Amino acid sequence: MSDPAPPTPPPPSGGGRVALAVSYNGQAYDGWQSQPSGRTVQDHLEQALARLLAVDEVSTLCAGRTDAGVHGLGQVVHFDSPLARPENAWVRGTNSFLPPDIAVQWARHVPDRFHARASAIARRYAYVLLESPVRPSVDAGRVGWVFRPLDQAAMTAAAEALIGEHDFTSFRAAACQAHTPVKTLRQIRILRRGAYWRFEFEANAFLHHMIRNIMGCLIAIGSGNRPAGWMAEVLAARSRDAAAPTFSPDGLYFLGPVYDATWGLPERTPAFDWLP
């Protein structure tokens, strides 16, 4: 559970803990987490913050890592600053040192007990999928793609089997470092707007590749290759071999974490509004 006390800004004369929401197009990056290549979103953000503060390095902690090619609309990080800055200066100043496909959306001063990951009570993702005989062009890399028609009723029925607390081993990547495969999936919503599908997921936490593996199964069911009841069989098998292949990262978006309202943090960013 998160602390009930509301956040309080640090004194103007000193630094303190700062929370940022970051949006990014993941196509050009090797995921979120810092790597020796330096081609990650975290690397670019920390370099921008260090330049802004004129220090050698800044260390950030995020609400949830994303893989190569996965996008973020409301990734939240926190860091401890040695210097005080107004909240709007954190946004404008950091963005001046970031590439055009990464942007800080908001900044808030938070108490030292706030932790971007540990204080989150849930996490949200969306997968955007194009159903078309022709592959994506202007939105290549930003949407998944299927060329067969999908059955919304079948996918919705299949998704119901996943709601609640379950062992999600069947949807877990071999490299997953989570301590347990048991997670609570609170919601799956499946929406359609024209040729575009939007799948929304909310859970207390997710396993590595969990959503992309679920998407592979949903699409197998939606395209008629498997019956809706197959999803429950895959879940019960507790074996990665039982599920469909991992689906493309292109259409996956980390919408961001959910925090207790007493922290006073925004729940969404303007970047949410362009998705179908």
Bridge partners, 109 (sequence order) = 18
Residues 6+ apart with CB under 8 A from 5: 111, 262
* CA 68 and chain centroid, separation: 12
Determine the Cα–Cα distance for residues 159 and 131; give it in Å rounded to an integer. Answer: 19
Catalytic residue among 30, 67, 112, 260: 67
Return the structure tokens found at 225.
């290759």
Verify whether residue 30 is a known catalytic residue: no
Distance CA 265, CA 244 (A): 37
The pair of three-digit structure tokens given for residue 135, joined into one six-digit string: 């592959």
Our CA dihedral for 64, 67, 69, 70, rounded to 10 degrees, sits at -30
Q: In the 8-state DSSP scheme, what is residue 34?
A: -
- Check: CB of residue 253 under 8 Å from CB of residue 22: no
Contact 128, 253 (CB under 8 A): yes
Q: Report the catalytic residues.
A: 67
